Amino acid sequence: MTDLRIAVLGVGMMGADHVARITERTKGASVTVLNDYFPDKAEELAATIPGCRVINDPLDAIADPEVDAVILATPGPTHEKQLLACLEAGKPVMCEKPLTTDVSTSLEVVKREAELGRRLIQVGFMRRFDHEYEQLKALIDNGTFGQPLLAHCVHRNPAVPPGFDSSMIVKDSLVHEVDVTRFLFDEEITSVQIIAPGSNPNAPEGLKDPQIAIFTTESGRHVDVECFVSTGVAYEVRTELVGELGSAFIGLDQGLVRKQRNPVQSASGDGRKVAGIQSSDITPSFVERFGAAYDVEIQRWVNAVRRGDNVDGPGAWDGYAAAAVCAAGVKALETGEPQTVEMVSRASIPGA
Ligand SMILES: NC(=O)c1ccc[n+]([C@@H]2O[C@H](COP(=O)([O-])OP(=O)(O)OC[C@H]3O[C@@H](n4cnc5c(N)ncnc54)[C@H](O)[C@@H]3O)[C@@H](O)[C@H]2O)c1
Ligand SMILES: O[C@H]1[C@H](O)[C@@H](O)[C@H](O)[C@@H](O)[C@H]1O
């Protein structure tokens, strides 16, 4: 079987990382077309990849007859138009989060895909492919902790790019915990509150950072998140799950750590006492922390597209649900009050 011919749109940090992943590690796929708002950037990268050419118009790149599938690593505000073009061309697309930057356009994308009657869109919520998150999910699903009750999350970035505003902390960063909550608990988030304590003096001017988010789910579960994107330290993403019979912690760079009524062991079962853990190296950015997860995500997506399934992971509905929670989050940030998440029911869109 010949390689899947992929066009990557946007060759900034994430796009270039996906290009390297596909050319160096992904089986059954090649990057054959690149596109970027700055053509020189795309040309420079294409020159390093045998058989790769640059197409300057993103919509032409999507429609090109020699492109089988598309990766969107362009900024969120461009996703809607590019996703609709992928649907129009009938091309499978792996869209980096967010699906789009507002609820109405995300819903429009969900509806257009549903009308086609074929799932073509996967959304880049890569944490679902991270081994530790998978382990946490398995502990919930196999009932190890009985009823899962709540989760505590930490999401810290050393810095953010210029122009990153307070609402982007919600829509660009917190969106991952929104997806993690929906993934782990398998239910929708119904309300969001965001508290902005005193800002970090080293945060960019005007940025409300850190923010503390509180989600409530359909069944009344609680998730809290510290989202702090200007720590100046390192990239730290942690989640602690608490259930009726114990708790488990991920993101310590030590593998999943479980605490249960005796014996207290590391997930590896080597008997190390959790209390003995003192410190660990922390990763500088998402590229290191989630590198293996992106590899799995892209390989599984390529395999799914080659099989004709097109999607193996979160889809357009997950992107829409996340957008709806984030919209409530932005309102909650402005008002300081809990906000109800406004969403249509999935059943109201046949095929979604
Ligand atoms: N899953 C993750 O962990 C993760 C991590 C980082 C970024 N992202 C997402 O990936 C996307 C890209 O983020 P990034 O950090 O790589 O940004 P970036 O700014 O580094 O790169 C974006 C690139 O897109 C180009 N571009 C801008 N408008 C374009 C257009 N209309 N058509 C084609 N190219 C265009 C820019 O010139 C730039 O090269 C965003 O949606 C972001 O949220 C996801
Ligand atoms: O775009 C990035 C990316 O999604 C990272 O995974 C997240 O940790 C950052 O906060 C965000 O700005």
Please state, in angstroms and rounded to a whole number, the distance separating the CA atoms of residues 109 and 100.
9
Determine the distance separating the centroid of ligand 1 and the alpha carbon of 228, expressed in angstroms.
21
Which residue among 8, 14, 34, 121 has the greatest number of ligand 1 atoms within 8 angstroms of its CB, and so is best to mutate? 14
Q: Please give the average per-residue pLDDT across 193-209, as a whole number.
A: 96
Question: 286 in ligand 2 pocket by Cβ < 6 Å?
Answer: yes
Determine the distance separating the centroid of ligand 1 and the alpha carbon of 83, expressed in angstroms.
14
Q: What is the pLDDT of residue 252?
A: 84
Question: 209 in ligand 1 pocket by Cβ < 6 Å?
Answer: no
| Strand 69-72, strand 4-9: pairing | parallel
Domains 4-126+292-315 and 130-286 share a fold: no
Convert the pLDDT of each residue in 85-133 to its tens digit. 999 999 999 999 999 999 999 999 999 999 999 999 999 999 999 999 9
Phi then psi for 50, rounded to 5 degrees?
-60, 135
Please state, in angstroms and rounded to a whole number, the distance separating the CA atoms of residues 314 and 179.
9
Q: Domain locations in the chain?
A: 4-126+292-315, 130-286
User: Which ligand is nearest the CA of 155, by number?
Assistant: 2
Convert the pLDDT of each residue in 53-75 to its tens digit. 999 999 999 999 999 999 999 99
Determine the distance separating the centroid of ligand 1 and the alpha carbon of 329, expressed in angstroms.
22
Structure confidence at residue 255 as a pLDDT band (50, 70, 90): confident
Question: 173 in ligand 2 pocket by Cβ < 6 Å?
Answer: yes
Q: What is the ipTM of this complex?
A: 0.98
Phi then psi for 100, rounded to 5 degrees?
-140, 180
Mean pLDDT of the chain: 93
Structure confidence at residue 260 as a pLDDT band (50, 70, 90): low
pTM: 0.93
Q: What is the pLDDT of residue 256?
A: 84
Convert the pLDDT of each residue in 304-338 to its tens digit. 999 999 999 999 999 999 999 999 999 999 999 99
Convert the pLDDT of each residue in 152-167 to its tens digit. 999 999 999 999 999 9
130-286 has which CATH code? 3.30.360.10
Between 266 and 35, name the one with better pLDDT: 35
Structure confidence at residue 282 as a pLDDT band (50, 70, 90): low
Atom of ligand 2 nearest to the CA of 161: 12
Domain spanning 4-126+292-315, CATH class: alpha beta
Strands in 121-123's sheet, in edge-to-edge order, are 53-54, 29-35, 4-9, 69-72, 93-95, 121-123
